[in-house]
Structure 1
Amino acid sequence: MESDNKNQTFEDLQVWQEAKELTKIVYDSFSDNNDFGFKNQIEKAAISVMNNIAEGLERESQDELKRFLYIAKGSCGEVRSMVILAKELDYISKDRVSEIQDQSVKVSKMLSQFIKKL
């Protein structure tokens, strides 16, 4: 998969690009939200996904890469958990909930595949 090219940068990785898309969706979905604690936490969780992929790849060690990919995967779960709460608090529309959940699951599955290839 993506780990075969030793000269590949994190920006080249499809999983990082999809994680960046997740972050953009989260930021857009909560831009008008006034619950700043909630907003800050879900944005941090989304950013954590893409940044842990980047940090892991930059470490240039497979063990460290794997560790950071697992952290990124955990952050995907945090995003989904918070979106469930956002739905129950009527912070975002059902369509946005589905969009964030679908993108988060997509990234999580891609991370699982990447980890298995290491």
Structure 2
Amino acid sequence: MATINNFEDLEIWQLAREICQDIHRIINYDSFSKDFGLVKQINNSSGSVMDNIAEGFEREGNKEFRQFLFIAKGSCGECRSQLIRAYDRKYIKQDEFSIIYNKLTTESVKVKNFISYLSKSSMAGNKFK
């Protein structure tokens, strides 16, 4: 695997950013925007995915990075659940729900695979050099 110097170069962070943009778009729909509690929750959980990937990467330690990736994965599941609630409340249409839901599912798998990769890696991280 090539050396990655910035979290912005990680595919999992890029997808998390895309999901955040999708969530931001749908929470501005008129009917959705009035559900303040759900808007705050889904906005926070989608942001948590990309933020935890970034924070874990910046810690420069393999073990800490994995821990933050587990948190990101959990936030991904939380966001998926909130998306289901939004769909059940008819704030979004089936096609939009499916697109974002599939992105969240893909993100969860990619994060899990990356955790697996890091778990098998002998690299401890830059702060241990």
TM-score when scaled to structure 2? Answer: 0.85
CA apart distance, 1:99: 1.2
1:17 to 14, 17, 20: 14
Paired residues in the alignment total 115
Distance 1:78 1:87 in 2: 14
User: Where do 5+ consecutive residues of structure 1 fail to align?
Assistant: none
Higher mean alpha-carbon deviation, 33-42 vs 66-75, is at 33-42
Partner of 1:36: 36
Aligned pairs for 1:102-117 (under 5 A) are 102-117=102-117
- State the TM-score, normalized to the length of structure 1: 0.93
Q: Could you give the per-residue CA deviations for residues 71-94 of structure 1, whole angstroms, max 9, x where no partner exists?
A: 000011001101111111111111
Q: Which amino acid aligns with 1:117?
A: Y
Cα RMSD, aligned residues only: 1.1
In our comparison, the structure showing a higher alpha carbon Rg is: 2
Deviations 1:39-77 (A, max 9, x none): 011000000000000000000111110000000000110
Of all paired residues, the percent bearing the same amino acid is 43
Cα distance in structure 2, aligned partners of 1:26 and 1:99: 11
Q: What's the CA shift for 1:8?
A: 1.6
Distance 1:50 1:64 in 2: 16
Match of 2:121 in 1: none
Secondary structure of the equivalent of 2:92?
coil
Shift of 1:103: 0.6
For 1:23-102, what aligned pairs fall within 5 Å after superposition? 23-32=20-29, 33-102=33-102
Q: Distance in 2 between matches of 1:71 and 1:43?
A: 16
Higher relative contact order structure (alpha carbons within 8 Å, sequence separation ≥ 6)? 1
Unaligned runs of 5+ in 2: 119-129
In structure 1, distance between residues paired with 2:25 and 2:95: 13
Runs of 4+, deviation exceeding 4 Å: none
